[in-house]
């Protein structure tokens, strides 16, 4: 065991945390699959007075189950969750939880949503993530990055994660979740970049970041994210050799604009276009 943060005493504690992260993903997998693809569709509420930002019973059940497990195993740690907010800890570490990233996809029956779990430095907004898990329960794939690991496990077995070496935008595959990306200006910037790439795809939520870490695609560009949307993908992608920042090259752990790239050369080229 190596590369664990200073808040963790030793390799034994790091191993315990990794095991806990796996159990968190397991319990969230069970909760989300129990309610996925029912006949007649999934009921949802919206968090917005205007517009549609859905939340389901499965979102809440999965986060509640993960929080209960953390509070039993490591009560000294903080928790920053999408559905149940912030619990302050004393260890200097915070678990950042998104029980279903891609609730719209979950409601629609697509297998592109996922459970996001990260361990970050504690703060009013969680800091740089040390460990991340992207779990896709329906496919059965789990992507882990941090503490010296960059690993994918799933139906096809287990293997190392590694990002691609693509250097030219003209050869790059780029993903984003929503075609409009964010504001009109952000959408125009994305269109400039997309127009220079070989292939553009939409609607993958956190699974796009997992594909980048697995060496299948080259860029993910989004805007309007929250810390729980991006903490786990940062850790997984960086462990696999990629880079994740905001559109100006600053840390992205607070959310907002996010640019994830397979390597620094492609990241620089994409950033130049986004800010052009």
213 and 255, same domain (yes or no): yes
Domain finish residue from 160, 183, 200 = 160
Neighbours of 72 (CB within 10 A): 9
Q: What pLDDT, on a 0 to 100 scale, did the predictor assign at position 3?
A: 72
Model confidence over 13-22: pLDDT tens digits? 999 999 999 9
In a domain, 247, yes or no: yes
Q: Would you tell me the crossing angle of helices 264-274 and 184-194 to the nearest 10 degrees?
A: 130
Domain finish residue from 132, 160, 188 = 160
Model confidence over 186-242: pLDDT tens digits? 999 999 999 999 999 999 999 999 999 999 999 999 999 999 999 999 999 999 999
Two tokens at 79?
């928790």
42 and 77, same domain (yes or no): yes
Place of tokens 């075609």: 179
Q: What pLDDT, on a 0 to 100 scale, did the predictor assign at position 52?
A: 59
Model confidence over 75-105: pLDDT tens digits? 999 999 999 999 999 999 999 999 999 999 9
In a domain, 4, yes or no: no
15 and 40, same domain (yes or no): yes
Spatial CB neighbours of 203, under 8 Å, sequence gap ≥ 6: 105, 110, 112, 177, 178
Model confidence over 116-174: pLDDT tens digits? 999 999 887 888 899 999 999 999 999 999 999 999 999 999 999 999 999 999 999 99
Domain limits for position 148? 11-160
Beta-strand (E) ranges in 12-156? Answer: 45-46, 54-55, 78-81, 85-87, 93-101, 114-121, 129-136, 141-146, 149-154
CATH code for the domain in which residue 243 is found: 3.40.190.80
187 and 103, same domain (yes or no): no
The pairing of beta strand 199-202 with beta strand 173-176: parallel
């Amino acid at each position: 065991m190596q590369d664990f943060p200073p808040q963790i005493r030793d390799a034994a504690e790091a191993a315990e945390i990794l095991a806990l992260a796996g159990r968190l993903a397991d319990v969230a997998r069970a909760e989300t699959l129990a309610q996925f693809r029912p006949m007649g569709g999934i009921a949802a509420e919206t968090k917005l007075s205007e517009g549609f930002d859905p939340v389901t019973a499965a979102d809440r059940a999965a986060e509640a189950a993960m929080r209960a497990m953390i509070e039993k195993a490591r009560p000294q740690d903080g928790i920053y969750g999408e559905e149940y907010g912030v619990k302050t800890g004393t260890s200097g570490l915070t678990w950042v939880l998104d029980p279903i990233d891609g609730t719209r996809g979950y409601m629609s029956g697509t297998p592109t949503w996922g459970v996001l779990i990260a361990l970050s430095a504690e703060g009013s907004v969680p800091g740089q993530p040390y460990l991340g898990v992207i779990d896709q329960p329906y496919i059965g794939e789990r992507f882990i990055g941090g503490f010296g690991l960059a690993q994918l496990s799933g139906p096809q077995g287990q293997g190392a994660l590694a990002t691609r070496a693509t250097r030219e935008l003209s050869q790059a595959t780029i993903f984003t979740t929503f075609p409009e990306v964010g504001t009109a200006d952000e959408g125009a910037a994305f269109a400039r970049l997309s127009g220079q790439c070989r292939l553009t795809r939409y609607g993958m939520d956190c699974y796009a970041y997992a594909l980048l870490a697995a060496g299948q695609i080259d860029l993910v560009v989004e805007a309007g994210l929250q810390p729980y949307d991006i903490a786990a993908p940062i850790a997984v992608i960086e462990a696999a050799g990629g880079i994740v920042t905001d559109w100006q090259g600053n840390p992205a752990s607070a959310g907002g604009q996010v640019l994830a790239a397979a390597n620094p050369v492609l990241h620089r080229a994409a950033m130049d276009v986004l800010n052009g």
